[in-house]
């Protein structure tokens, strides 16, 4: 599918892109090649193919939601760089 110079400039304007005059023809050829490929894909019969969200089958890797013993406060802050009275001491972020 042939893309004109004006169409490339129009799309570039919509995308708020500045394109050098030397590159317009190159982009026209590249976009034309992409559209030809998509046109070929549109010719493929997909009438018996079910819609999918993923190209391969996926499964969640979640563990069972079970109640367990919580981490002891002292164990939680044992490796903290700074702690005081059972709390983490962190650098001030907002001034």
Set out the domains of the chain in order of their start, with CATH numbers.
Answer: 5-42 (1.10.20)
Q: Which two tokens stand for residue 90?
A: 């962190």
Q: Which long-range contacts (CB under 8 A, 24 or more apart) does 38-45 make?
A: 39/1
Q: Which two tokens stand for residue 19?
A: 């394109």
Q: Which two tokens stand for residue 64?
A: 């069972």
Residue with tokens 């002891």: 72
pLDDT value at position 39?
Answer: 92
Q: Tens of pLDDT along 36-80?
A: 999 998 899 988 888 887 888 888 888 888 898 888 888 889 989
Distance CA 86, CA 77 (A): 7
pLDDT value at position 56?
Answer: 84
């Amino acid at each position: 599918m042939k893309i004109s110079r004006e169409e490339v400039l129009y799309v570039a304007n919509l995308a708020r892109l500045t394109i050098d005059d030397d590159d317009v023809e190159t982009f026209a050829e590249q976009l034309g090649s992409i559209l030809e490929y998509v046109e070929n894909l549109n010719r493929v019969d997909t009438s018996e193919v079910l819609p999918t969200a993923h190209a391969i089958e996926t499964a969640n890797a979640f563990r069972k939601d079970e109640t367990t013993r919580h981490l002891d406060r002292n164990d939680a802050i044992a490796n903290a760089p700074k702690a005081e009275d059972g709390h983490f001491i962190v650098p001030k972020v907002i001034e």
